[in-house]
Structure 1
Amino acid sequence: MYDFRVSDYTSVAMDQGRLLPTVREILTLPPVLAGDPRLLVGERWADRPVRWVHVCEQPDLARFIDAGDLVLTSGMGLQNHPEEWLPVLETLTERGASGLFLELGRYFERFPAEVVERAEETGLALAVFRRQTRFVEIIHSVHRSILQRHTHELERIATMHAAFTKLGLTGPSTGEILQLARSVLHREVYLEDLAHRLVAFARADDSPAPVMADWREHSLRRPNVDQAAYDDETGTLVVPVGTPDEQWGRLVIPLGHTPTTAERLTADRTADALALQRLLDADHQMLEWQTRETLVDILFEQQYATEEDALMRCRAQGFPLNGQVLAGGGLRLPGLAAGKGKVSAARLRESLAWINRIVRDHGLPVLAGLAGPGQLRLIVHGPTENALEAVFAKLADRVRERRFAGETEPPVLGFGSTIQAIDGIRRSCHEAADVVAASRTADPQPYYRLEDVQIHGFLRLLHEDPRLQNYTDRQLAPLLRLAPAERDLLLVTLRTYLDHGRNKAETARQLHLSRPSLYDRLERIRRILKADIEEPRTALSLQFAIHALDVFART
């Protein structure tokens, strides 16, 4: 059985008010319109809820009237005692009645002037029927409206509980819980931590709201609560999230009105679902990590209307990127890249958690997310480029301290070019992925930048360009079409010869060949390619094509 709390909200009468018809709404009902009603006093108070409707003809009303009641009368009981009108008015006001409606014509042609004047002072709605009216039809119509509203509210509550129960069986994420609450309430839903930082939210279009621009300031103006409460000043429902012994967040729902029972219970059920999800998580940092991962995806995929919207969201969620220098990063985990299925996905998640713990424990300004099989995507930020380099080095030191289970190679860390605006994050992350891929041909080092992988980094950036592929094929086609054994032998010879500056002595030493054997191979290459491999520009073109071929083989 799922247990949920019913919080102690103030102003229960106001809470129920939204389920009840108002004086203004009652004036529009067909049986009421049939009596040609006119509101004499109370335009300002016509939105008060009506709890019930009574027909009263006796001057002594105190025993029959409760707060929110609407009284219908023909004035029969006051026909011979018109002086009793004012005491009746005072009694209705004291009991909290919503209004007094008088049918004209039978016993009175109008309300006494002093009654109208007093009603203006007390705030009681006065109305008259200028035609004969069937009070019983009015009572039936109003009571039917009240019962229908309560039935609808009960149906909403039942539907809400069923939806949350169904979602709970799937092990929902924070975002899924908040989205369900939003769909039930038709209101934006926000989750903040106890430090007044926005952790997650659900809106109709998933874009930042203006309130997020200064979230912390707005949050600090709301009173801290130990139990669910509605803040009249801001029109916001605030519900603590967590266990009674350990609250860790607050659910914030801008309603703009005192919550109904269904809205209260939906907010409570949402808070309980979030608390349960956290209890089931082995690591309580998971929520923050999910927030970081979501931000990485949003920034990389450019899922924002404007740069200001994205910066607003990052700032509200505790990652101010305004005025920061940024760089995309990539981390390859060789042992996980080849894995498949749920086991590989679980291990990749473990690796992401491991990186997030490094970031947390060492206070590094890094956001981490998933990029693909065996790949993590990083976004690094800092006040200056020197600060970024320091973060690169610290992160590399921590990554080198441990290899992931099943890996025969160490993780490879690479970073793209630094940027000044978030719309460059996608490009920098792509560069980082290219750097990581091209690092296989570079000398080992803690982390790699574009300049570290030299021509291979450049070729890696262009490896999908058909023009580079055509160029490589044109330069080397005669060699590539040889039998595999001869092709590989001559390509290795040509690569070594060109990479050593066409120094025949060094090439022979590297290949463990005699000079005559090397000369014979080079001559065969020259004849097959029909090219002068000693001519500098030809040699450069061939060397470029051979290194492009290496990149194609590794991508």
Structure 2
Amino acid sequence: MLPLAAGPPFGPEHTMILEQAATALTLARLTSSPAWDRRAHSSVLLDLLHWRYRSRTEARLRAEALGLPTTGHRLVPVVVDHPGAPSADGVALTDHLASELLSSGVKALVGDLAEGRSGLLLALARASAWQPVVERIARELRAAFGPDVVVAVGPGVTELGQVTRSFREAEEVADAIGPASRDRPFHVASDIGLPELLYSLRDDVRLQKYVEQQLGRLVQHDARHGSDLLDTLRAYLDAAGNKSIAAKHVGLSRQAFYQRLHTIERLLGTDLESGAQRTQLHVAVTALESLGPPAELG
């Protein structure tokens, strides 16, 4: 019997490709089970989010094994927050979303990133606009699961290796969208203003201390006396220091409004004629809205 000719060395890359082929075959056998399908998609999305791959080839093989084209497409990461969202007709949000995308012919990975947070990675033609696709998805989810669903979008990329950074940006956007900012179907980084920034920092002790230092005496005075000086201050700051406009907004005479402003200045030890001090207070008032009811302060 003739000896077999020696072939090229069998290296780690070959092992990886065989492993991915086995994974693809296994997944193909499981496609009839939605639960296993979502679990597989979630695994790939989480590995992309935290980049747990040994190479881009491995990432590409795993994504393509689940039907996501990765070359010649624009990849758009989307994060969907739905804490406490009820199921729609007994179907969980992630399964509902996967079904909608499948019926519309949109190629995507759809899975769970954490409790109350789903992720999807869309593969769209490079020449097509992603906004109409995402807006349709967002409106469908908000109609089925309620207006508290938050849809955040990261920058579209053309390389799978760029998805991690884009996904993390989408998560940062989602973290910044509080109840007062949910008036849009979806959100991107450019939507993040001061209220959203402060909402994303609401658990930071330093922000809580700042609010207490700036507004603590005023909040305590309102709680003890049943007054609404905080509302008076908010109206004055929203009117950019225009007392006449602010007085009209809260339904007070100018004299009564001026008296309230003097009381606020005395309690806070501040000069409301100072633009810098008004700015400090405006930041504090905006931050307070992200921290919860004023009664919780302190």
TM over 0.5: yes
User: 366, 378, 381: which is aligned to 2:120?
Assistant: 378
Which residue in the other structure is 1:394 paired with? 136
> Residue 390 of structure 1 aligns to which amino acid in structure 2?
P
Alignment CA distance shift 1:316-1:375 (3 Å): closer
Which residue in the other structure is 1:101 paired with? none
Tell me how far 1:285 sits from its aligned partner: 4.3
* Residue aligned with 1:418, SS: coil
Which residue in the other structure is 1:457 paired with? 196
1:297 and 2:39 correspond: no
Unaligned stretches of 5+ residues in structure 2:
5-14, 294-298
- Distance in 2 (alpha carbons) for counterparts of 1:301 and 1:481: 45
Report the TM-score when normalising by structure 2. 0.75
Unaligned stretches of 5+ residues in structure 1:
1-41, 46-207, 216-235, 237-248, 253-270, 279-283, 337-343
- Distance in 1 (alpha carbons) for counterparts of 2:191 and 2:226: 30
Which residue in the other structure is 1:360 paired with? 102
- Distance in 1 (alpha carbons) for counterparts of 2:228 and 2:128: 46
1:414 and 2:155 correspond: no
Kept after mapping to 2: 8 A contact 1:371/1:377: yes
Kept after mapping to 2: 8 A contact 1:314/1:320: yes
Tell me how far 1:429 sits from its aligned partner: 3.5
Q: Deviations over 1:379-406 (max 9, x none)?
A: 3443559632232122124334x434xx
Kept after mapping to 1: 8 A contact 2:138/2:151: no
1:311 and 2:69 correspond: no
Two-structure CA RMSD over aligned residues (Å) = 3.7
Q: Deviations over 1:311-346 (max 9, x none)?
A: 33212332133563433322326544xxxxxxx8x9
Which residue in the other structure is 1:210 paired with? 17
> Residue 223 of structure 2 aligns to which amino acid in structure 1?
P
User: 513, 523, 527: which is aligned to 2:262?
Assistant: 523
What are the residue-to-residue correspondences of 1:363-512 with 2, within 5 Å? 363-384=105-126, 387-400=129-142, 402-404=143-145, 409-418=146-155, 420=157, 421-435=162-176, 437-438=177-178, 440-442=179-181, 444-482=183-221, 484=223, 486=225, 489-512=228-251
* Residue aligned with 1:414, SS: strand
Q: Deviations over 1:3-43 (max 9, x none)?
A: xxxxxxxxxxxxxxxxxxxxxxxxxxxxxxxxxxxxxxx79
Structure 1 runs (4+) deviating above 6 angstroms are: 42-45
Tell me how far 1:479 sits from its aligned partner: 2.2
> Residue 315 of structure 1 aligns to which amino acid in structure 2?
E
- Distance in 2 (alpha carbons) for counterparts of 1:250 and 1:315: 12
Kept after mapping to 1: 8 A contact 2:49/2:167: yes
Q: Deviations over 1:324-380 (max 9, x none)?
A: 3433322326544xxxxxxx8x96x62221111111111234433234554433334
Kept after mapping to 1: 8 A contact 2:150/2:182: no
Which residue in the other structure is 2:92 paired with? 350
Number of matched pairs: 276
- Distance in 1 (alpha carbons) for counterparts of 2:39 and 2:156: 25
Alignment CA distance shift 1:300-1:532 (3 Å): same
More helix by share: 2
Alignment CA distance shift 1:251-1:356 (3 Å): closer
Tell me how far 1:483 sits from its aligned partner: 5.3
Range moving further from structure 2, 464-473 or 513-522? 464-473
> Residue 389 of structure 1 aligns to which amino acid in structure 2?
Q
Report the TM-score when normalising by structure 1. 0.43
Alignment CA distance shift 1:357-1:458 (3 Å): same
- Distance in 2 (alpha carbons) for counterparts of 1:398 and 1:501: 39
1:326 and 2:76 correspond: yes
> Residue 277 of structure 2 aligns to which amino acid in structure 1?
T
- Distance in 2 (alpha carbons) for counterparts of 1:385 and 1:495: 46
- Distance in 1 (alpha carbons) for counterparts of 2:251 and 2:122: 46
> Residue 210 of structure 1 aligns to which amino acid in structure 2?
I
* Residue aligned with 1:513, SS: coil
> Residue 495 of structure 1 aligns to which amino acid in structure 2?
R
Kept after mapping to 1: 8 A contact 2:154/2:167: no
Larger CA Rg, structure 1 vs 2? 1
Alignment CA distance shift 1:471-1:329 (3 Å): same
